[in-house]
Amino acid sequence: MSTTETRATGWVARDLTASVVVFLVAMPLCMGIAIASGVPPEKGLITGIIGGIVVGALAGSPLQVSGPAAGLAVIVFELVRDQGLSALGPILILAGAIQVAAGIFRLGGWFRAISPAVVHGMLAGIGVLIVIGQYHVLFDAKPLSSGIDNLLAMPGRLLGLSADLRAAELALMLGLTTIAAMIGWEKFRPATLKLVPGALIGVVAATLIAFSLGLDVTRVTVPENIVAAVSLPQNGFLSQFLNPAILTAAVAIAFIASAETLLSAAAVDRMHDGVRTDYNKELRAQGVGNLLCGAAGALPMTGVIVRSSANVQAGATTRLSTIMHGVWILGFVALLPWLLREIPMAALGAVLVVTGARLVNFSHAKHLFKDYGLLPVAIWAVTLILVVAQDLLTGVLVGIALSMLELLPHVRRLRLKVDAHDHDQGRTITLDGAATFVALPKLSERLESTPAGSPVRLDLTRCSAVDHTVAELLRDWSSRRRARGDEVAIDGASGRFAKLAA
């Protein structure tokens, strides 16, 4: 066998192995997120299949995995509650069309300009809503209509328990078993089995206990034939596009899904040294995926960091792993639906409780305060509180409005001039003006176009300000280049900009 053939065999083997790992991570999450969204679990599986096979083939981020995301579960739950499940199709078709148009008009870079404080505040708020909603699923009950209602009802669930082992008590024991198995496995698993996900271990443990003891608890319901779960558009479908509520929901999902996808793609880029993300191509691929999900009556999709990081850590090198994970989901639900019907609902609720808790990242708030002061932390906190107390879109829009306050001191000099000059010692990039999120798309494009393998000098001596959105971009970019062995020097990184030299 030639060297070329050996290398080809090597990357195919790594991608196939990675695809199995991602499949094992994705299965419980696809079903759990669907349940958290108030729809049947097979809807999440369809989204996972489309996200793997179709979006995986078209994606601008080859190693990013797409599928149903916890970040949209809350907004979908509210849409299904208020508009009905039939409204989800037209909403996703319109949202997908908006994403495709945004990719065609090269708006991908602007989604990255959203303040990290807003994004992390949004994710933390979503995490809180998922935890307090799925808490009730641990008792074999359904979540209530709002985050506040779910929060207020939490003590009553515990006080309502009795010594008689009925459905609620049995379901809670299975849920706690799932959580304990997940956390215990992730902490103590042997190195040889490090790629086996904790969520899988937790769900398998709870399922085996429920099956072997014949426990009378609510279990997952999936159809015998996955095709039966596809809900094609019905009569009157087009008339729903005239409904203002449908239009508003579509814009909200397109915006939030795009922001989460592109921020996830940026995080994935930091994990490997392979092909960088084409953000506009990724937007178009996500739009096609959501169009198909809308036509099939499934859940919306985004690029998801949990599955994507599992893909990279498992050694994936090309988009084959992402595509194959979708094939494995399709094969499993087509051939073994009876096995899925043995999974207790409380086990999937427990997986989502852990997933939601991990979205509430207080360490990021501490980092914002330490490096950038009080305002970014206030933006983070206000976004979180409004997402929980009001709704997702209100929290995000108010967070973005508050982030505009960072522009006020520099309103007379918002323009940033970015010059790149090549010389014998490499390239020098000079920033002249206020480096705020308004200029982030242009700055990001200039930084990413810098050839790898050559020294880079970033000159901030004529830079009057760097807000925390741009500062995070510069830190990520410089740390990634240094990790590849490239020399990065930053002039003017002293005083208020000293954190950029770290």
Q: Is 345 within 8 Å of 64 (Cβ atoms)?
A: no
Q: Does 427 or 273 have the greater pLDDT score?
A: 427
As a whole number of angstroms, the distance between CA 124 and CA 381 comes to 9
Same domain, 419 and 386: no
Query: Which pLDDT score is estimated for 402?
Result: 93
Buried b (16+ CB within 10 A) or exposed e, 394-417: ebbebbbebbeebeeebeeeeebe
Same domain, 217 and 238: yes
Same domain, 429 and 311: no
Per-residue pLDDT tens over the stretch 225-239: 888 888 888 777 777
CA dihedral 106, 107, 109, 114 (to 10 degrees): 180
Which residue among 299, 329, 349 closes a domain? 349
Same domain, 389 and 430: no
Q: Does 130 or 409 have the greater pLDDT score?
A: 130
Q: Other CB atoms closer than 10 Å to residue 393's CB: what's the count?
A: 20
Per-residue pLDDT tens over the stretch 289-344: 999 999 999 999 999 888 898 898 888 999 999 999 999 999 999 998 999 899 99
DSSP 451: P
Domain count, the chain: 3
Per-residue pLDDT tens over the stretch 115-146: 888 888 988 888 898 899 889 989 988 888 77
pTM exceeds 0.85: no
Q: Tokens at residue 107, please?
A: 């708006």
Query: Which pLDDT score is estimated for 6?
Result: 44
Is 355 a member of any domain? no
Is 372 a member of any domain? yes
At 164 the three-state DSSP class reads coil
| pLDDT band per the 50, 70, 90 thresholds, residue 286 | very high
Q: Is 435 within 8 Å of 416 (Cβ atoms)?
A: yes
CATH number at residue 428: 3.30.750.24
Same domain, 401 and 339: no
Residue in the structure block whose two tokens are 């993300």 = 277
Range of the domain at 240: 3-349
- Asked if residue 497 has pLDDT above 80, the reply is no
CA dihedral 151, 156, 162, 166 (to 10 degrees): -60
Same domain, 33 and 158: yes
For the chain, what percent of residues have pLDDT higher than 70?
96
- Asked if residue 495 has pLDDT above 60, the reply is no
- Asked if residue 10 has pLDDT above 70, the reply is no
- Asked if residue 479 has pLDDT above 90, the reply is no
Query: Which pLDDT score is estimated for 207?
Result: 95
Query: Which pLDDT score is estimated for 268?
Result: 86
Query: Phi, psi at residue 421, to the nearest 5°?
Result: -130, 120
As a whole number of angstroms, the distance between CA 211 and CA 378 comes to 48
Query: Which pLDDT score is estimated for 499?
Result: 61
Same domain, 11 and 113: yes
Q: Is 48 within 8 Å of 59 (Cβ atoms)?
A: no
* Mean pLDDT rounded to a whole number for the chain: 88
CA dihedral 375, 381, 385, 386 (to 10 degrees): 40
Q: Does 281 or 73 have the greater pLDDT score?
A: 281
Angle at 401 between CA 400 and CA 404, to 5 degrees: 90
Per-residue pLDDT tens over the stretch 163-212: 777 888 999 999 999 999 999 999 998 988 888 888 889 999 999 999 99
Amino acid at 125: G
Q: Does 490 or 147 have the greater pLDDT score?
A: 490
Is 354 a member of any domain? no
As a whole number of angstroms, the distance between CA 292 and CA 47 comes to 9
Using CA of residue 294, residue 298, residue 299, residue 300, what is the dihedral sign?
negative
Same domain, 322 and 368: no
Same domain, 385 and 426: no
Q: Tokens at residue 54, please?
A: 């179709």
DSSP for 260-322? Answer: HHHHHHHHHHTT-SSPPP-HHHHHHHHHHHHHHHHHHT----EEEHHHHHHHHHTT--STHHH
As a whole number of angstroms, the distance between CA 92 and CA 306 comes to 23
The whole-angstrom distance between residue 291's C-alpha and the CA centroid of its chain comes to 19
| pLDDT band per the 50, 70, 90 thresholds, residue 501 | low
- Asked if residue 267 has pLDDT above 60, the reply is yes
Q: Does 67 or 7 have the greater pLDDT score?
A: 67
Whole-angstrom CA distances from 404 to 150, 333, 401 are 33, 47, 5
Same domain, 386 and 438: no
Same domain, 155 and 263: yes
